[in-house]
């Protein structure tokens, strides 16, 4: 069925300024509260969009390669830009609103709308052409079943995301409580600097260290690079970049958990002397705190380049609880990182699922 037989345009303006909540529309197909300062703006010409109605932007499809459309479910009434189109479903017994939103979420729909854009700079899709989209319509109960499958996966992802927030709060709170302890230890008593060189060229795994506190494969061309002077870093060892200026106010430091690699000779490599007293993973959690980044920047020194040297690292004072306590918080952090990976996998599954579900709709209609 053609879209024009399913939807109708809505054009109610906010002339009486009865609606104060202004929302915007993203290419991620979501409404969001506007971040613009509207205190001195005239929003009387803005369009009113009610809960259960759709909003879409047909002007900028070509700029983002995505069709900006969303079903408004968060507010009883809100105001949106007059440049947007507002529409709703003519007959709820024919099509379920969330089913139509699933159809719009497909990447195939984005490509179709991109193909329909005009030749203007903005790449606008005319309303009349938009209404010529063809929507497959199974029975309303079947539509709701497809939506239910999608909602189940979406709710699982949101539940996983909520658990991540809770676990992150536990980790952060624990580390902050530790930071308030008065019984602090000097880090230099627990670590030692290493200087193993790649003189025999046995290792070609060249690594860098990011401000996200991770090692990563370097994209440096090694064809003509003499790596004999590079330092070797092995699993369970730390490395950090002494230069902290022009580095996003962060220090690049990481704990290697993969294969042995080599790093620049300007990096500092070190390990922990006795892991039964201080776990490397626990120390990394301390390094990941924003307060540690601020500490490293504050104690960096130099002129053209500010550096946080080995001596500065050894001077750090930190709480070192019982090894059992360290293992417990590290275990919680591992669960947190595992949940983050699962959450990313779920998010990556959601959008492709729309295409799979809609393909099933089309196939079923063809058979019947």
Q: What is the DSSP letter of 125?
A: P
Residue 3's pLDDT is 93
Residue 221 clears pLDDT 80, i.e. is over it: no
Rounded CA gap, 295 and 251, in Å?
A: 10
**pLDDT tier, 352 (very low <50, low <70, confident <90, very high otherwise):** confident
pLDDT tens, position by position, 269-327: 999 999 999 999 999 999 999 999 999 999 998 877 899 999 999 999 999 999 999 99
Q: Are 46 and 82 in contact (CB under 8 A)?
A: yes
Residue 320's pLDDT is 94
Domain ranges of the chain: 3-135, 139-180+328-368, 184-318
pLDDT tens, position by position, 168-209: 898 888 888 888 877 899 999 999 999 999 999 889 899 999
pLDDT tens, position by position, 130-147: 999 999 888 899 899 888
Between residues 122 and 304, which one has the greater pLDDT? 304
Whether 3-135 and 184-318 share one fold: the answer is yes
Handedness of CA 318, 320, 325, 331 (dihedral sign): positive
Residue 62's pLDDT is 56
For 156, the 3-state DSSP assignment is: helix
Architecture of 184-318 per CATH? Alpha-Beta Complex (3.90)
**pLDDT tier, 60 (very low <50, low <70, confident <90, very high otherwise):** low
Residue 238 clears pLDDT 80, i.e. is over it: yes
Prediction pTM value: 0.70
| Residue whose tokens read 């042995």 | 260
Residue 66's pLDDT is 80
Instruction: Give strand ranges (E) for 199-338.
Output: 207-209, 215-217, 231-233, 238-240, 253-255, 261-263, 268-272, 317-318
Task: List residues bridging with 186 in a β-sheet.
Answer: 317
Domain 3-135 has what CATH class?
alpha beta
Using alpha carbons, select from 329, 300, 302 the residue that is nearest to residue 315. Answer: 300
pLDDT over 90, % of the chain: 55
Using alpha carbons, select from 210, 198, 71 the residue that is nearest to residue 147. Answer: 71
Rounded CA gap, 78 and 56, in Å?
A: 14
Rounded CA gap, 240 and 243, in Å?
A: 9
């Amino acid at each position: 069925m053609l879209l024009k037989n399913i939807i109708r345009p809505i054009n109610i303006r906010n002339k009486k300024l009865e609606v104060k909540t202004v929302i915007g529309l993203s290419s991620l197909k979501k409404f969001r509260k506007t971040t613009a300062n509207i205190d001195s703006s005239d929003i009387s010409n803005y369009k009113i969009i009610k809960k259960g109605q759709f909003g879409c932007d047909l002007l900028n499809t070509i700029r983002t390669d995505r069709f900006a459309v969303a079903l408004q479910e968060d507010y009883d009434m809100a105001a949106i830009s007059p440049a947007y189109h507002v529409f709703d479903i003519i007959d709820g017994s024919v099509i379920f609103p969330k089913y139509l939103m699933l159809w719009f979420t497909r990447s195939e729909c984005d490509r179709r709308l991109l193909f329909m854009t005009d030749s203007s700079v903005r790449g606008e899709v005319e309303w009349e052409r938009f209404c010529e989209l063809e929507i497959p319509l199974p029975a309303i109960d079947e539509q709701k079943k497809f939506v239910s499958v999608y909602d189940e996966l979406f709710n699982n992802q949101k539940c996983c995301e909520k658990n991540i927030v809770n676990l992150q709060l536990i980790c952060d709170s624990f580390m902050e409580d530790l930071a308030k302890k008065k019984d602090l230890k000097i880090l230099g008593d627990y670590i030692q600097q290493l200087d193993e060189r790649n003189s025999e060229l046995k290792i070609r795994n060249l690594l860098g260290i990011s401000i996200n506190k991770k090692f990563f494969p370097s994209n440096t061309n090694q064809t003509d690079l003499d790596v004999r002077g590079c330092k070797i870093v092995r699993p369970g060892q730390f490395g950090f970049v002494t230069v902290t200026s022009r580095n996003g106010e962060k220090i690049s430091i990481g704990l290697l958990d993969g294969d042995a690699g080599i790093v620049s000779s300007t990096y500092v490599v070190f390990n922990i002397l006795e892991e039964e007293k201080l776990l490397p993973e626990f120390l990394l959690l301390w390094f990941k705190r924003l307060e540690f980044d601020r500490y490293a920047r504050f104690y960096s020194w130099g002129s053209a380049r500010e550096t946080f040297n080995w001596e500065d690292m050894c001077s750090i004072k930190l709480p070192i609880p019982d090894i059992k306590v360290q293992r417990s918080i590290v275990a919680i952090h591992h669960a947190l990182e595992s949940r983050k990976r699962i959450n990313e996998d779920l998010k990556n599954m959601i959008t492709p699922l729309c295409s799979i579900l809609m393909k099933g709709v089309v196939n079923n209609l063809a058979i019947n």
